Amino acid sequence: MSFLSTFDHTNLMTDNIIDRDELQNAYIESIIDGMDHKTMYQYVYDTLAENLDKYSVEELITEVEDYYPELLEG
């Protein structure tokens, strides 16, 4: 799989262009493929915790109410 494509144009400075989206997607897939379940779980947990740390208490409660309201029962 190649991430370089050649353009026919008059600008001699740029013969090859990297398809950034394709390269990024392939890189992400390679990282994920290299993870075992424990590593992937930890990464997901850490990412969610980092994102949720930015929420106010009210925003967190709203999020929980929307997706897992049973967590607020009792």
Question: Do 27 and 54 share a domain, yes or no?
Answer: no
Place of tokens 């897939």: 29
Question: Do 4 and 24 share a domain, yes or no?
Answer: yes
Segment 9-42, tens digit of pLDDT: 555 444 567 899 999 999 999 999 999 999 999 9
d(CA 27, CA 7): 24
Nearest in space to 5 (alpha carbons), one of 24, 14, 13: 14
Question: Do 29 and 44 share a domain, yes or no?
Answer: no
pLDDT for 18: 83
pLDDT for 10: 52
Question: Do 55 and 73 share a domain, yes or no?
Answer: yes
The answer to whether 45 and 52 are in contact (CB under 8 A) is no
Question: Do 64 and 44 share a domain, yes or no?
Answer: yes
Split into its structural domains, the chain has a count of 2
Nearest in space to 63 (alpha carbons), one of 47, 45, 51: 51
- pTM of the entire predicted model: 0.64
pLDDT for 64: 98
Tell me the one-letter amino acid at 50: E
Segment 55-74, tens digit of pLDDT: 999 999 999 999 999 999 97
